[in-house]
Amino acid sequence: MGASEHVVVERDNDDVERQEGGNQNEDQTEEEEEEVEVVRDELERGEVKVGNNPPDQFHMSRMQRLSATNPLRLVINGATRVPTVSPAQPRATPSPAQPRATPSSAQPPLSTPTPQQSLTNLNSRAYTNRISLFLFLLHLLLACGLVCFLVFKGIQGLLEAGSTRKKEKNVLEFFLPQVEAASLLSITLAFLWQKTLRVWPKFMVHFILWSSFLMSLSAGILLICFQKPATDGVGVLFIAFAIGNGLYACWVTQRIGFCCKVLIKSLEPVSKFPDLNQPTYWMLGVGFLWMSMWILAVVGSLNFYLPPLIIIALVLSLAWTAEVMRNVANITVSRVIALYYLRGMQSNTQFCFQRALSKNLGSACLGSLFVPAIEALRIVARGLNLLEGEDEFMFSCAHCCLKVMETIFRYGNGWAYVQIAAYGKGFVKASQDTWELFKKREVEAIVDSDMTSAICFLTGVCSGSMCVIVVAAWTARVHQNFTATISLLAFFIGYLMTRIAMALPHACVSCYYVCYAENPDNRLFDKTIPDRLNLIKSERDAVVPTPRVPRRFTS
C-alpha cells in the first residue's frame, strides 16, 4: 500500500509523441478539446492517482515545454495546465493555420502584453498654421517699417516751415493728448471690468448689459448735441447701436441665470494660478507702447502721399495686431485651465505663454483674421431672419445666407482655441473637432446660445463709449473740428484694450464647455450642464432660439 500512496503517472513517452504529432493543421478549438479529453480519460482510467506526498516532491522536470497553440499553456508530461491570466496580460491568439510544435522543437518566447494606448499628446512641438504665421510676421515687419518711416516724416514736417508744419503742430497739440488719455483710460477700465467680473459675476452680467446700453446712448446724444455734420453722423450710429443693445438685453433675459452659473463655475480654477493674469499685463503694456507709436505714425502720414489710405491701412493693421494679442492671452489661459481640467496639472503660466507666442501663434493669427468676420456675418444673417416682411424671396435669401454662415462657423469658431492650446492642433482642425464634440454630447444648442462672447464684446463697447464721452467733451472745448475723428479713434482704442483684458474670463468659459464635452465624468464638473440638458429635453426649460425664418414660411 505504500506504493499506492505515491503519485503514479504511467504514460509512454512514445505514445505521447505520436499523440502530439498528429494533424498539424487543426485549429485551436479542436486542439484544446483534445487536450481536455486526454486529461479526462486519464482521470477515468486511474492513470493519475493522487497520494499523500507533499507538494515539494513534485518534480519541475515534468514541465517539458510550452504549448505551441498557447504560450501561456504549460504541457506537463502530455497533460496541459493553464495558469491564471491577469487582466493586464491578455492571452495571445495564434492563427488557425499555425502548426503545433514537437517536444524536440525550440521553445517559443512568452507572449508580451499588449501595450495600452498612449494618452493624447499634450506637448506637440509642431508649429501650427505656418502660412498665416508667415503672413502675420511679414505684415508686422512691414507695419513696423511703415510706422518708423512715418514717424520720421512727422519729425521732418515739424522741422520744415510751411502749412504741413502748422497742421502737424495742431494735431500734436489738440489731437495726441486726447488719444493718449483714451489709451490710459481704456487700460484702467479693462482691469476694472475683469476684476469686478471675477469678484461679482452675477451682478456684473446684468450691469454690463445695461451699462453698455446707457453709455452708448449717452455718447450718441452727446455727439449730436455738438451740431456738426460729422458728429451727428457718428452720434446716430451710437444711438442705433444702443437701441439694438437694449433689445438684445431684453431678449436674453432667460439666459442670464444659466450664464451666471457657468461663469461662476468656470472662474473657480483662476484662484489656483496667481500669475494667470501676467500674459494680459504684458499684452496691454505692449499694446499701449505700440498704440503710442501708431498715433505718431498717423501724425506723420499728414506729411506723406494719400493720408486717408495710409490711415485706413494703419487702422486695419492695428485691429489685426490687437486681436492677435488678445488671442495669445486667450490661448495661454486656455492651456493652463484645460490642462487643469483634463489632467489635473498645475501648469507653468510662463511656459504656456512662451508656447502661445511661438508654436501656436500661427493659429492665433489665422483665428484673429477670420473669427471676428465670421461671427459678425453670422449675427447679421440672424438679424435678417428676425425681421418680419412680405417679401418671401428676401427671407429665403436670408435663410440661405444663414445656412451658409452656420456651415462656415463649423470650420472656424472661437471655441477652437482650447484644443489649439491643449493639443497643438491647427485652427480649422480644432474648430471641426470641437464642434463634433459638442454635437456628440448634444450641447451645441447650449454652446450656441452662450452669452460670454457677447458680454466680453459689450464690455469693450462700454469702455469705448466712456472714452468717447470723455474725449469728445475735452476736444469740443479745445478744437471742435477734431471731435468726430477723435471720438471714433477713442472708441476703437477703448474697445481693443478692453477685449485684450477680457480674454481671461472668455478663455475660462470656453475651457469649461470644451473640456466638459471631452470628459463629462470629470469630478471637477458639477451638474450645471447636465441639469440644463435635462430641462431642455423634458421641455421644462428651453434655450431661447434664434428664429431662422418667419413662422408663416415654415407653417
C-alpha cell at 280: 494680459
Task: Taking residues 17-39, report their average pLDDT.
Answer: 48
Angle, helix 503-518 to helix 452-478, in steps of 10 degrees: 170
Confidence class for position 393, pLDDT limits 50, 70, 90: low
Nearest to 454 by CA among 271, 235, 213: 213
Is residue 309 over pLDDT 80? yes
Mean pLDDT for all residues in the chain? 79
Q: What is the pLDDT of residues 341-375, one digit of tens each?
A: 998 888 899 999 999 999 999 999 999 999 988 88
Q: What is the pLDDT of residues 74-109, one digit of tens each?
A: 444 444 444 444 444 444 444 444 444 444 444 444
Minimum mean pLDDT among 178-192, 244-258, 541-555: which range? Answer: 541-555
Give the residue with greater pLDDT, 2 vs 379. 379
Nearest to 452 by CA among 185, 261, 283: 261
| Start-to-end C-alpha separation, the chain | 98
Q: Is 75 helix (H, G, I), strand (E, B) or coil?
A: strand
Nearest to 78 by CA among 10, 27, 7, 4: 10
Radius of gyration of the chain (CA): 36
Is residue 55 over pLDDT 60? no
Confidence class for position 385, pLDDT limits 50, 70, 90: low
Residue matched to cell numbers 480654477 = 269
Confidence class for position 12, pLDDT limits 50, 70, 90: very low
Contacts of 51 (CB under 8 A, 6+ apart): 4, 5, 6, 7
Q: What is the C-alpha separation between 61 and 44, in angstroms, rounded? A: 25
Q: What is the C-alpha separation between 483 and 301, in angstroms, rounded? A: 19
pLDDT at position 188, please?
93
Is residue 555 over pLDDT 50? no
CA dihedral 455, 461, 463, 465 (to 10 degrees): -150
Residue matched to cell numbers 487536450 = 35
Strand partners, 63: 76
Give the residue with greater pLDDT, 58 vs 392. 392
Minimum mean pLDDT among 3-7, 141-145, 163-167, 364-368: which range? Answer: 3-7
pLDDT at position 170, please?
82
Write the CA distances from 248 to 160, 383, 460, 519, 550, integer angstroms: 53, 11, 16, 33, 19
Amino acid at position 533, single letter: L
Alpha-carbon torsion (197, 201, 206, 207), positive or negative: negative
Task: Taking residues 179-186, report their average pLDDT.
Answer: 91
Q: What is the C-alpha separation between 175 and 58, in angstroms, rounded? A: 102
